[in-house]
Amino acid sequence: MSFTTRIKNEISNIYENNSASRSELSAILRNSYNFKDKKLQIVTENGAVCKHIYTLFKELYNISVKTEYKNTTFSKNRLYSIVINDKLDLILKDLEILDEDNNYKKTPMFIENEDEKRSYLKGVFLSSGSVNDPKTSMYHLEFSINSLSEAEYVLSLLDDFYLNGKFTKRDKGYMVYLKEAEKIGDFLRIINASLAVMYYEDIRIYRDHKNMTNRLNNCEQANFEKSLISATKQIADIELIKEKMGLELIDSKLVEIINYRLKYPESSMQELSEIISLETGKVITKSGLNHRLRKIKEIANKLKEN
């Protein structure tokens, strides 16, 4: 079962008050209904969604609702359809799909409060939404919407909840989508998909932790390689000084650093400063150590020039 199906099954068992249910049904019709032979038809591949829509029509309008299903040729899924031919004029105008002159209304004006907006977004998701399982490599939630006016309206509702939705033109219609992991989690909360939120956040946190660990490991590896290259150059300078002039004329403090660098060739600057401080009882900071190693490098550079 896909993650999208699990979410739709979960939220199909949640019913709101009449005002919120009306908003939800308005969204469902705007994004999935066909009108033919004086019949209104809504088609879905999800049995739970079909039952949910059936119940909404029965409770809001007390009408006769017919449900059908058939197996598709190229898919293992069944197609469920809800067919209504009773009180169509009342329903389409009450849900503000049509105005009083039977013209299509671009937006339902009755949706005002937060609960109604949440329910409308829930209806859009039930009828045209999908979301990637967070276990996959990409976070993505989208709605497939037919008209530009509806796409813009859905975007405005997403913006009301600070979700920063985007949309793009497709060959047929428009795609409204969310790409940010946190925003997708927030959307699932908005439509009250509590079980999906828990699953989604668990996977997201695990992935974020894993990515952070990988970044830290990569950073540590890069720092180690950088320290090793630096130490190799320092040892090469020391070997040059020993070969060309010996250590007798070198300042005793520099000789001490030379001996420790040769003794601990793979230690980082921080590690080497801590070792010297511990073994000699004299505190030398990383900055102080770096200063002495620069003097050693200057001596080696002069020998190279000569």
pTM over 0.85: no
Structure tokens at 11: 């939220």
Looking at the fold, whether 168 and 115 belong to one and the same domain comes out as yes
206 falls within a domain: no
Looking at the fold, whether 188 and 232 belong to one and the same domain comes out as no
**What is the count of structural domains for the chain?**
2
Question: pLDDT tens digit string along 21-50?
Answer: 999 999 999 888 787 777 888 888 888 999
215 falls within a domain: no
Site of tokens 């989208």? 142
Tell me the helix, strand and coil percentages in the chain, rounded to 5: 60, 15, 30
27 falls within a domain: yes
Distance CA(296)–CA(250), nearest Å, equals 9
Domain coverage including residue 263: 228-305
Looking at the fold, whether 27 and 128 belong to one and the same domain comes out as yes
What CATH code is carried by the domain that includes residue 60?
Answer: 3.10.28.10
Looking at the fold, whether 259 and 172 belong to one and the same domain comes out as no
- Where is the domain boundary, 139, 165, 192? 192
Distance CA(297)–CA(303), nearest Å, equals 10
Q: How many CB atoms lie within 10 A of CB 228?
A: 14
Looking at the fold, whether 104 and 151 belong to one and the same domain comes out as yes
Looking at the fold, whether 40 and 162 belong to one and the same domain comes out as yes
Segment among 117-131, 160-174, 178-192, 220-234 with least mean pLDDT: 220-234
Residue 234 predicted with pLDDT over 80: yes
- Where is the domain boundary, 147, 175, 192? 192
Question: pLDDT tens digit string along 157-179?
Answer: 999 999 989 989 988 889 999 99
Question: pLDDT tens digit string along 257-300?
Answer: 888 888 888 788 888 888 888 888 888 888 888 888 888 888 88
% of the chain at pLDDT higher than 90? 29
CB neighbour class for 130 (10 Å; exposed up to 12, middle 13-18, buried from 19)? middle
44 falls within a domain: yes
Looking at the fold, whether 232 and 182 belong to one and the same domain comes out as no
Q: State residue 34's pLDDT score.
A: 80
Q: Give the alpha-carbon dihedral of 110, 112, 118, 124, to 10 degrees.
A: 40
- Local structure of 157: helix, strand or coil: helix
Of 58, 49, 13, 9, residue with least CA distance to 28: 49
- Where is the domain boundary, 134, 169, 192? 192
156 falls within a domain: yes
Distance CA(51)–CA(25), nearest Å, equals 13
Structure tokens at 250: 């070198």
Distance CA(48)–CA(27), nearest Å, equals 17
208 falls within a domain: no
